[in-house]
Amino acid sequence: MTIYSVFQLEEWFERYEFEVDHLLGSSSCAGMTMEELCQITGETVDFAGSSLGATPGPGSDELREAISTWYKKGAPENVYITSSSTEAIFLLIESILSPGDSMIAMFPMYPALYQLAEDNGTEIRHWHLRHENRFEPDLDELKELVDDTTKLIVVNNPNNPTGQIMLRDDLQHLVHFSQEHGIRLWVDEVFRGITVDGGPVTPSIRDIDSTTISTGSMSKSFGLSGLRVGWIAAPEEVLEALIHIRFYTTVTAPVMEQKIATVAHRNRDKVIGRNQAILDRNYTYLKQWMGKRNGVFDWVEPKGGPVTFPKFIDSVNTDDFCLKLAEDYSVLVPSGNYSFNAEGFIRIGFGHSSGFEEAMSRVGDALNQFLK
């Protein structure tokens, strides 16, 4: 049996998520009620009249159709609904990789995207987003990471935790590189549609090349993390390869959650627009807050998504700092060291619907005390 590593980021959330006043480190946009979703979209979900029978394994026709329209050349047959994108990650890793293979993984990145593969015997080669390069990916470095064992490149765009993005030219380059070496390319696009400071929207990798894989989620840009609905958009042979594994996990996604996700997807612009407005407001405050702390953080501003990864200028034990924040200030922020193997950083999320300023003010108080 696979011995699974401790998923430190998620364990940190599990420990404090429902205890603290402020979930400042979250990478999800602010949650909403059913009522708010109906108000924003102008639609209702017919709960009483809906069948509670299961949908087909790849998901309900209506949700697959709604999601497929987010991809320029998308067809419902290429969309496979999962119970959260965490399940999508599991299925892809299990179906694509075998012990002895190697995989190129952007780093830092949401750990599930590579840790599971490593636990299964795949060698992980980090493609670094370096702070000293303002987290810009260096495409030349890819050449040093590839050999005959390399089966997969995994990228997260926009990236969690750095907020770095890849735009069309760089993605095109990545597609050429993976094609040249016969490697499958997978981009986790759970933050798709969210911009920072009026910056560009990241294109989907599948709008550039149809042999690639894109994964998405209702949790992040949509702010509907309780639905636990995600998806894979991929060539049919990739989907066929994971179906038999899916019979051992959830078989199909929950029916009512898919209905709600369908309403949200049919009204993507309105739902993501609601979250973007919250993010923009909080980001304006965050910039001012950071501006007053130039001597504390060497901050590379994010370019996409709802999180940022400031680095302390002085050597600070971020594990201790984040523990203090949680225990004494009731604010949850993941430590870069503990959660992402990146020493000296903390991750801040700015998707809060209320209380963001109060949470940041508590971080300021904690800093004053901790750095004395």
Figure out which of the listed residues 86, 258, 262, 282 binds ligand PLP, where binding follows CB under 6 A. 86
Nearer to ligand PLP, 110 or 186 (CB): 110
d(CA 265, CA 76): 13
CB neighbour class for 175 (10 Å; exposed up to 12, middle 13-18, buried from 19): middle
Figure out which of the listed residues 8, 68, 78, 156 binds ligand PLP, where binding follows CB under 6 A. 156
Figure out which of the listed residues 60, 150, 214, 219 binds ligand PLP, where binding follows CB under 6 A. 219
Nearer to ligand PLP, 189 or 282 (CB): 189
Report which DSSP code applies to 248.
T
Figure out which of the listed residues 190, 261, 346, 363 binds ligand PLP, where binding follows CB under 6 A. 190
> Minimum distance from CB of 237 to ligand PLP (Å)?
23
Amino acid sitting at position 366:
A
Report if residue 276 touches ligand PLP, rule: CB under 6 A: no
Which two structure tokens, joined as six digits, stand for 110? 């949401």
CB neighbour class for 104 (10 Å; exposed up to 12, middle 13-18, buried from 19): buried
CB neighbour class for 4 (10 Å; exposed up to 12, middle 13-18, buried from 19): exposed
Count, residues near ligand PLP per rule CB under 6 A: 13
Which residues 126-145 are close enough to bind ligand PLP by CB under 6 A?
Answer: none
Q: Which of 347, 353, 358 is nearest to 25 (CA)?
A: 347
Residues 6+ apart with CB under 8 A from 245: 91, 94, 95
Contact call for residues 63 and 254 (beta carbons, < 8 A): no
Q: Which of 228, 229, 272 is nearest to 37 (CA)?
A: 272
> Minimum distance from CB of 255 to ligand PLP (Å)?
18
Which residues 9-38 are close enough to bind ligand PLP by CB under 6 A?
Answer: 27
Report if residue 160 touches ligand PLP, rule: CB under 6 A: yes
Nearer to ligand PLP, 17 or 327 (CB): 17
Report if residue 110 touches ligand PLP, rule: CB under 6 A: yes
Interacting span for ligand PLP (CB under 6 A) from 56-64, 80-88, 279-287, 332-340: 80-88
Provide the β-strand partners of residue 308: 348
Figure out which of the listed residues 41, 84, 164, 318 binds ligand PLP, where binding follows CB under 6 A. 84
Contact call for residues 170 and 139 (beta carbons, < 8 A): yes
Nearer to ligand PLP, 83 or 316 (CB): 83
> Minimum distance from CB of 58 to ligand PLP (Å)?
17
Figure out which of the listed residues 188, 203, 257, 360 binds ligand PLP, where binding follows CB under 6 A. 188
Contact residues: ligand PLP, CB under 6 A: 27, 84-86, 110, 156, 160, 188, 190, 217, 219, 225, 230
